[in-house]
Homo-oligomer: A and B are copies of this chain.
Amino acid sequence: MRLPLLALVCCAVMAWQHCAAEAAKARHFKWEISNMFWSPDCEEKVVIGINGQFPGPTIRARAGDTIHVQLKNALHTEGVVIHWHGIRQIGTPWADGTAAISQCAINPEETFTYRFVVDKPGTYFYHGHYGMQRAAGLYGSLIVDVAEGEEEPFKYDGELNLLLSDWYHESIHTQMVALSSKPFRWIGEPQSLLINGRGQLNCSLAAAHTPWVNQCAAAVNRQCAPVVFPVQPNKTYRLRVASTTSLASLNLAIGNHKLTVVEADGNYVDPFVVDDIDLYSGDSYSVLLTTDQDTSSNYWVSVGVRGRQPKTAPALAVLNYRPNRASKLPAVAPPVTPAWDDYDHSKAFTYRIRARAGTAPPPPTADRRIELLNTQNRMDGHIKWSINNASMVLPATPYLGSLKMGLKSTLAAARPAETFSRGYNVTLPPPNPNTTVGDNVYVLAHNTTVDVVLQNANALSRNVSEVHPWHLHGHDFWVLGYGDGAYRGDAADEARLNLRDPPLRNTVVIFPYGWTLLRFVADNPGVWAFHCHIEPHLHMGMGVIFAEAVDLVGKVPNEAVSCGATATALMAGGHL
């Protein structure tokens, strides 16, 4: 009786695969990652490039396609991985590209093939996820169109792609040493902002309106030439905007034009119209823009810093109404970025984001609530970020392999705390300024619904609380609500939650002194990072790990576990 049944299941699976293969494509990419000289903001430094390009090549696919990236590490002495930000990696947790979590870093001269399905249309990007390699320029766009024959729920005539980043002149090696030093050295604010990998350090396109800087000469250096977006009048464009900054929170505005937000992090949202949008590191949006303004003019695309006192000039690009010359600069000054500390403006935008009508609502209740108090602390002369007073340090052997193989020695026995003291005063520096190292692994039962309260607090200095954009791997989550002050879980806090049309995201901000509550279903076996997307904050320990039904993870490829304790165990005859 059992064999025929099994055969039947196999046939059904094969038929489905065959069917899917007809609709979806395998898309193959062959990449080589190397250090190279580049001048993103007209000042040369060593960047991490892909196939000699910075930023890396754009991947474009359709929902349901399988992406194959055969990645060769041509760095001289450094390992590398690539994370596909926003792709949930359902069934392929070893392709998530997080060093020490989902896979062994790819050694120099080695090749690793990432294979994964892009199951959902949207605006994504990819980036390095080892040390601070993202901040060295290891990133690019990943755009997923709707499946063949399907349609987006909004219309547009063309697309513009804006991958935003910030740029430092210090090497990431120096930055990592600085952040790990005793005494601590902060990396400071970025030197430049980049649009599609290009910025201008010592000149401005809008020098006519900012007379203390020089006018940029035309195309002195192609690597840092200002970006021009050519458009036709009276059309609607979809701007795909993503931020892969190391530190900066950004704001984007386009002179004279309104923006209609239609997508956030690969999820459709209830459309709404704004003058400008905020982007925290890790965010992506689609906004629609209609070229309905005076056709004789070009318009500014302006990107400025928010959330920290800016010491970095805005990045500018030109929205070029054809057939005007691209070099015809707008007569008026670029849009002014809202004040960096105008959090009311930020909240108005963020709170306005809701799921598009027709999106399935979240489960009405959760099985578990994990509260994560974000504090800044000292540890043996270092400065760290901590979650419930434990600062995350990643292990030598990646979690996915070691947990799958049951190598208990690689995991600390103690369960991390999942609540914080009800009396904690978030408006003051931490009463206990000291923290300890933690592995911060939360084990989640399969298919349970988990609520996470991200609680912001005062940093070590009085009257300082920073913005932190938290990014979850392997999942989208519903953002149920936000609040100021300490989360108490009382009726007033409950009243702030939106269970009707909360947006699905993979990145969410916590505002200074505030909290954010999100919900997700632990339905994707794997080991997933959940962390502040600010690169120096993650380096300083601001993250946790969710280990989810690791026993249900399929066969992990050997290449993902050929290091550390998993390699030792497998070489001794162990099995995955």
Give residues in A with beta carbon < 8 Å to B.
Answer: 35-37, 46, 76-80, 100, 104-105, 107-110, 130-133, 171, 173-174, 176-178, 180-181, 394-396, 558-559, 562-564, 567-568, 570-573
Contact = CB atoms under 8 A, between A and B. Distances in A.
Contacts of A35: 173, 176-177
Contact of A181 (B37, B79, B395, B572): B37
Contacts of A132: 76
21 contacts: A35-B173, A36-B177, A37-B178, A46-B174, A77-B105, A77-B131, A78-B78, A79-B79, A105-B107, A105-B108, A108-B396, A110-B564, A171-B173, A171-B174, A558-B572, A559-B568, A562-B562, A562-B568, A563-B563, A567-B567, A570-B571
A79 B130 CA distance: 13
A525 B100 CA distance: 36
A177 B77 contact: no
B76 A77 contact: no
B79 A395 contact: no
Contacts of A77: 78-80, 105, 130-131, 133
Nearest to A181: B37
A181 B36 contact: yes
Contacts of A567: 558, 562, 567, 571
B37 A107 contact: no
Quick one: which of A76, A77, A571 has the most chain B CB within 10 A? Answer: A77
B395 A109 contact: yes
A74 to B, nearest CB: 9
A330 to B, nearest CB: 39
A380 B75 CA distance: 19
A107 B131 CA distance: 13
Given A35-B173, A107-B564, A562-B567, 9 more contacts: A37-B177, A76-B131, A76-B173, A77-B78, A77-B130, A109-B395, A558-B572, A559-B568, A562-B564
Nearest to A132: B76
B570 A109 contact: no
A451 to B, nearest CB: 33
A181 B394 CA distance: 34
Nearest to A79: B77
A174 B170 CA distance: 12
